[in-house]
Chains A and B, each alone.
Chain A
């Protein structure tokens, strides 16, 4: 095993807990715990939002997808970043001015309906869990890949560290922890990529998609884990195949991957519908993710919320330049992953594969693994804080005056379900589940926020109907994808990438329902609009 690995991982955990404890010294009241007493500067806040947002799906999943499918999946990083632009254009400043801490709070402020508030809480917990489970699974898979240890220990370890940190330090500590973790993640990908690019230069700049087909860079042996057809020849599970340097990489029937022009040029075998559905889900889903919105409350006013979002867009955009390079270089140096299907591990394995097993390769390998650990820790901390916040206010009915002990109880409650789920669901596909979480958020909270902020005519009945129709349809699609049988043809696209029809459905039902019940428009809608849109300096 890599000798630098354990010190690196221990350092990340210690610094995370250390900053958490340091933050605890300042966290005295419940307000400190929940919203850092609104005293966080935009630069810290933007780094914290970015650190929280860049999850296992971004750090490991994007590079893995690019290694496997090529140019078509570049829409994932573009969409993950563009989601912040949609958030900036339609939500950031008015949401901050509404004074809402969570999405259910926003429902309360805008429409004053207890039923809508409860429904929104259910969606927050569902999306939070849907997003938290794959983070813990990613942690378990990384643990297995890097140390050879058991999956359950990796998932459990990250689960316990995150729960302890959120329960003890609350939001104040989380802000500093997240900001630190953004820079750690950026460094962990940016420094190795410099050495990888130099190595590629000194190897004579090998072609990423050579005309003769993808080939092994060195002698490699691959163990086939399931019965499969390798280049049309049946191979039993457990067979070890050996290849020499320069041998072409064969296609394995159990692993979905693209080769040659399909990989290099757009339009492979994915349909236009699936591409647009993915674009819609990622562009509009970000604003509906519960852990993203909670952060905006820590800005002092609407204008700074806007500026913070712009800085986030810059930080996240910078980060997403890097995973593409890992995916592309993985095509040259780790093509065996295309046979085993463990493409998510490309970021972890590439430094040693390209630079050799010397000290440099091992050191950089430990660095990217530490970055991956930071990715699991930060995103799951943010998710847990927001889910715990909703459990705290809406399930325990503690309100803002609730005690710190209640918040800790809420944290443990909110953490236990996803941790248990992640132990039992070990074979769900990480990037796909994250994509589904975006689709649910885009078809439930996006219409609610956009219509609630910009349209006076929204009513509580319309909002409830829209949430149930759009959110319900997308949740049904998620459950069928995760639990149901495999589907074929257009039905597979419509269920696997549901956003293209569930988002318009949610908007349509919300508008129609509101128009039909226009007598229920809240009488204070004018005052609410003033509060959402007028600059704070005019507060009367």
Chain B
């Protein structure tokens, strides 16, 4: 984006200084100005752009860590539970000992469920980010 290198910053009054843009046919006119601004912030690593990206990274990391915690408490606690309370391991459900049922069968749908929730929420985070970039004034 050679044209972006020539963009001038806002004045203190908040009035946008007309920016020098290299016009190539009608391409520039077709783009919306606010989107241009936020995209330029991102591309040039201005403090605003940097903050936007940091916000996205933080949101995605928080989501990933939260779901990892769900798995760690859900599955990771089992060996400890069986060691501390051996009675739990001796419980039979439908004629199958509980540890076999939990580890051999139920752990897989549990993992898939957590993965499904992650994909859904991570995509929502990204859509929020796109909306923020496209309409920064609203």
Contact = CB atoms under 8 A, between A and B. Distances in A.
Contacts of A538: 39, 42, 129-130, 133
A306 B122 contact: yes
B89 A267 contact: yes
Given A71-B99, A266-B82, A454 B61 contact: yes
B133 A86 contact: no
A255 to B, nearest CB: 23
5 contacts: A84-B111, A89-B68, A272-B80, A279-B76, A530-B45
B25 interface: no
Contacts of A535: 126, 129-130
A321 B108 contact: yes
B79 A88 contact: no
B45 A266 contact: no
B103 to A, nearest CB: 4
A533 interface: yes
A267 B83 contact: yes
B75 A526 contact: no
Interface string B13-39: 000000000000000000000000001
Given A89-B64, A313-B115, A530 B42 contact: yes
Nearest to A325: B104
Contacts of B49: 526, 530
A537 B130 contact: yes
A314 interface: yes
B45 A527 contact: yes
Interface stretch (A74-82, A162-170, A346-354, A404-412): A74-82
Interface string A499-540: 000000000000000000000000000110110011101101
Nearest to A302: B126
Given A84-B111, A88-B118, A534-B56, 11 more contacts: A71-B103, A78-B108, A82-B111, A89-B68, A90-B64, A93-B122, A265-B82, A272-B79, A313-B111, A535-B130, A540-B40
Nearest to B90: A265
Given A321-B108, A534-B56, A266 B99 contact: yes
A84 B118 CA distance: 13
B109 A317 contact: yes
Contacts, number: 128
Nearest to A532: B57
A482 interface: no
Most buried by A among B42, B57, B68: B57
Nearest to A86: B68
Contacts of B133: 538
B69 to A, nearest CB: 11
Interface string B80-100: 101100100110000001011
A535 B76 CA distance: 33
B133 to A, nearest CB: 6
Most buried by A among B61, B126, B129: B126
Given A88-B118, A310-B116, A317-B108, A78 B103 contact: yes
B104 A529 contact: no
A258 interface: no
Contacts of B108: 78, 81, 317-318, 320-321
A529 B80 CA distance: 38
Given A86-B68, A266-B89, A317-B111, A526 B103 contact: no
Given A533-B56, A533-B57, A534-B56, A267 B114 contact: no
B45 A313 contact: no
B89 A88 contact: no
A276 interface: yes
A533 B43 contact: no
